[in-house]
Amino acid sequence: MNYQEYIREIEERKAQGLHPKPIDSAELLSEIIAQIKDAGNAYRQDSLQFFIYNTLPGTTSAAGEKAAFLKEIILGESVVEEITPAFAFELLSHMKGGPSISVLLDLALGNDAAIAQQAADVLKTQVFLYDADTDRLKEAYHNGNAVAKEILESYAKAEFFTKLPDVAEEIKVVTFIAGEGDISTDLLSPGNQAHSRSDRELHGKCMITPQAQEEIKALQAQHPDASVMLIAEKGTMGVGSSRMSGVNNVALWTGKQASPYVPFVNFAPIVGGTNGISPIFLTTVDVTGGIGLDLKNWVKKTDAEGNVVRDENDEPVLEQVYSVATGTVLTINTKTKKLYNGDKELIDISKAFTPQKMEFIKAGGSYAIVFGKKIQTFAAKTLGIEAPVVFAPSKEVSVEGQGLTAVEKIFNRNAVGIAPGKVLHAGSDVRVEVNIVGSQDTTGLMTAQELESMAATVISPIVDGAYQSGCHTASVWDKKAQANIPKLMKFMNDFGLITARDPKGIYHSMTDVIHKVLNDITVDEWAIIIGGDSHTRMSKGVAFGADSGTVALALATGEASMPIPESVKVTFKGSMPDYMDFRDVVHATQAQMLHQFGGENVFQGRIIEVHIGTLTADQAFTFTDWTAEMKAKASICISEDDTLIESLEIAKSRIQIMIDKGMDNERQVLQGLINRADKRIAEIKSGEKPALTPDANAKYYAEVVVDLNQIAEPMIADPDVNNKDVSKRYTHDTIRPLSYYGGDKKVDLGFIGSCMVHKGDMKILAQMLKNVEAQNGKVEFKAPLVVAPPTYNIVDELKAEGDWEVLQKYSGFEFNDDAPKGEARTKYENMLYLERPGCNLCMGNQEKAEKGDTVMATSTRLFQGRVVEDAEGKKGESLLSSTPVVVLSTILGRTPSIEEYKKAVEGINLTKFAPSHKLLAN
């Protein structure tokens, strides 16, 4: 883009109420610099504004041009009246890393003593240094450079942190109730606006509603000395997707500008929820130096005997402890760690102000602390001294004589910086090495921006494998996807990830669902996985869904920091009837857990350790995937040895297909994963290292036993869109038996796809179609059925086994990669659609059901507006169920009766599950 094109774009954006887009292009900025140097240029004043206030920092190509020009000014090679050498240093100090650090090192290690001192003073405030930077400092120090020594001594004292202003003792907030009940990140950053996430100002326009944005602005005008706190009344804030863009939007509307020279990058948002903040969302709040409060302003009402009072639906009745109605002015005291209304103490909020969180707030975000600790350690080691204790020591919980849960074992194995022989239990803060990292395509552009902003240029060598997906934008290859995805794939491919699309165009583009790929490339059940999506929930290893920034941090450093979570143990007893599907077990687990604990969700924020034993990774993933909807932090599967070996052999074969396609890179990452799988299989077979199990004397927060005998009919997760209590809608916690609907609830569309289905589901679909035809003489759909296989491998296997031919026979549309759809489907006919592998309707950013539809889906998402939006006078609803229920619902155009269901699945090989009879502990 040249300057005139940029000016035209500015005019177009002005018509949309937008400011100029921040500059990341070297080509454009070099033209702007030329205009600044030309004293008589008509565009000189505008160019100065763009250069100073509208250029993105970090490792963008524009940042390289900016840093080089500022160096010229400091050295006197260029003279710009409006940018003095002192101001040039200030601008360099706000560029965070990459080219700016390189320039500052050039100046600090140069021959001009005065300039070197000024550069050193700026460098002492910087933390985003990488090996190339620290190597230069180390070499200069060993060569006797006094300035290098001075910088290292400052780093060793962590003056970049200690000299920052302390966190204010009192923080005034004014409340804004963003919604009642759980607030999903989809409200804060809608999936259907995913294409605009990297354009922060534009994306900010989609947060909640324009009306809500106006209310927030009005509150800010009324209370200029207070921060607006967004609240989930009677619910949890930030459930669902791990969306950095959601926190970015909250910060954009309610936070503080991070730098006067970087537009639309804000920090320090404050959010609250009656039931706290979703664990993933809270991590993202930490990234931005924000505050997340567990308000507990509604509690369960109890009678005189202390029993919980329940309503006619057997739901606990809530009573208000204190009001947080919109416009209420409250005070957060970071010293007493209490929340006040005037002088009245409301609640203890100390969990939001642990020593570690106070550091994040002081530093403006968790990244600065992560990098700061690394810089301090490096400097002390280089100087040959012991680093002074500056940062809060990590919390270490070690209980004598107590065994380890499975996740505790993994964290102890991967822990960094703990004393040899020290065993840590839940509650400990740990830095861990990350084995596998996944970046998805609607957050990937933001991850790329985060990598640029933290000045990272190559993947950490300690990461075993990393993958960039194309699944969230798979169904429609529209102009937005064409503009964003190739750019993303090139960046990630250059960075060192295996990418779904080949920037060179050699191998066939793969739109496989990211979770399925990560589940395959995880070849060690002792692995830690970080992925940019809440459904990063592998059935091998322990996986954590994360925001795009945490993904960037894992890619750049190979590490993550978090407390070891508590675990809840889930085991099974009894047996499933032949006509039940494993998806029904998944839903029943949630329902039985809530019943067992009187409505308390013991899974929330914890690890679900599920003793699945006999199900291979593909099938077990149906359970671990759903744990995001259970509000668990993560899930971990305990398998029998033979089952794990079978899963690893399947994973090997699929990785080999990726290699055969030409997807491996120069480091031969994929081949390395196959080698690791072979080694792990050998360890299990020899008995040297059996499949991961917990210790028999491990301690759990709770234990849930799922009784399979109680599951007598298919189970459906219902959004309960008409519940009179708004907070009970769209929660994933309303699980109903099929008979609840009386066989007469109209179904407008069915969807089989997303990460919740596996190859077996596709075969069930084919078998059911043959069954229905045999029973009725024909297959006729009374509602559309959209089918999106999770991966191309599955399509190939179904073709080889004859099932795809069956699906083709009944379909009215089949995807064609040579001519992908250019626009999203808005109308559906009553027929079977064979769509391209990928997320499709579940993502809600491209394809959608018609407004007001009742959808029966295998998806995981029932949030308002996700799969289906509301129509005038009719709410859209997405009911979640097993594949056979979806198929039959579309053939009938309504929910089936239990008798119709049993007849339709006669003789069909559903996803069976029988609990392990072996002791899955040691």
Write the DSSP string, 81-139: TTB-HHHHHHHHHTS-BTHHHHHHHHHHTSS-HHHHHHHHHHHTT--B--HHHHHHHHH
Share of the chain above pLDDT 70, in %: 100
Q: What is the pLDDT of residue 394?
A: 82
Whole-angstrom Cα distance, residue 910 to residue 761?
Answer: 8
Predicted confidence band of residue 393 (pLDDT cuts 50, 70, 90) = confident
Whole-angstrom Cα distance, residue 109 to residue 128?
Answer: 18
- Between 47 and 430, name the one with better pLDDT: 47
- Does residue 274 surpass a pLDDT of 90? yes
Q: Which is nearest to 636 in space by CA: 696, 576, 705, 566?
A: 566
User: Quick one: average pLDDT of 450-462?
Assistant: 88
- Does residue 361 surpass a pLDDT of 90? yes
Q: Which of 240-249, 637-646, 682-691 has the lowest mean pLDDT?
A: 240-249
Q: Which of 438-452, 728-742, 749-763 has the lowest mean pLDDT?
A: 438-452
Q: What is the dihedral of CA 750, 756, 759, 763, to 10 degrees?
A: -30
Report the DSSP pairing between strands 237-239 and 811-814: unpaired
Q: Which is nearest to 727 in space by CA: 275, 347, 418?
A: 275
Q: Which of 191-195, 623-627, 911-915 has the lowest mean pLDDT?
A: 191-195
User: Quick one: average pLDDT of 768-780?
Assistant: 92
- 173: β partners: 227, 330
Q: How many CA atoms lie within 13 A of 525 on its CB side?
A: 31
- Does residue 129 surpass a pLDDT of 80? yes
First to last CA, the chain: 63
Contacts of 682 (CB under 8 A, 6+ apart): 688
Average pLDDT over the chain, rounded to an integer: 94
- For residue 530, the SS3 value is strand
- Does residue 99 surpass a pLDDT of 70? yes
The single residue listed with the structure tokens 């360890």 is 683
Q: Which is nearest to 61 in space by CA: 30, 96, 16, 31?
A: 30
Whole-angstrom Cα distance, residue 888 to residue 470?
Answer: 31
Q: What is the pLDDT of residue 139?
A: 97
Q: What is the DSSP letter of 177?
A: E
User: Quick one: average pLDDT of 222-244?
Assistant: 90
Residue 209, number of CB atoms within 10 A of its CB: 11
Long-range contacts of 251-255 (CB under 8 A, 24+ apart): 251/288, 251/290, 252/200, 252/201, 252/204, 252/207, 253/204, 253/207, 253/213, 253/216, 253/228, 254/216, 254/220, 254/227, 254/228, 254/229, 254/230, 255/227, 255/288, 255/290
Reported pTM? 0.83
Q: What is the dihedral of CA 736, 739, 745, 750, to 10 degrees?
A: 70
User: Quick one: average pLDDT of 568-594?
Assistant: 95
Let me know if 362 is exposed, middle or buried by CB neighbors in 10 A (0-12, 13-18, 19+). middle
Share of the chain above pLDDT 90, in %: 81
Predicted confidence band of residue 67 (pLDDT cuts 50, 70, 90) = very high
Q: What is the pLDDT of residue 702?
A: 97
Contacts of 692 (CB under 8 A, 6+ apart): 406, 409, 410, 525, 526, 638, 639
Tokens of 228: 């607006």
Whole-angstrom Cα distance, residue 503 to residue 482?
Answer: 12
- Does residue 807 surpass a pLDDT of 70? yes
Contacts of 920 (CB under 8 A, 6+ apart): 611, 613, 638, 639, 640, 693, 694
Cβ pair 441, 488 in contact under 8 A: yes
Whole-angstrom Cα distance, residue 531 to residue 543?
Answer: 7
Give tens-digit pLDDT for 146-170.
999 999 999 999 999 999 999 999 9
Whole-angstrom Cα distance, residue 499 to residue 503?
Answer: 9
Contacts of 378 (CB under 8 A, 6+ apart): 134, 155
Whole-angstrom Cα distance, residue 488 to residue 331?
Answer: 43
- For residue 874, the SS3 value is strand
Long-range contacts of 350-354 (CB under 8 A, 24+ apart): 351/294, 352/291, 352/292, 352/293, 352/294, 353/291, 354/392, 354/395
Long-range contacts of 114-119 (CB under 8 A, 24+ apart): 115/74, 115/75, 115/85, 116/147, 117/147, 118/74, 118/85, 118/86, 118/89, 119/89
Cβ pair 666, 500 in contact under 8 A: no
Residue 309, number of CB atoms within 10 A of its CB: 12
Predicted confidence band of residue 242 (pLDDT cuts 50, 70, 90) = low
The H or E element that residue 346 is part of is strand 344-348
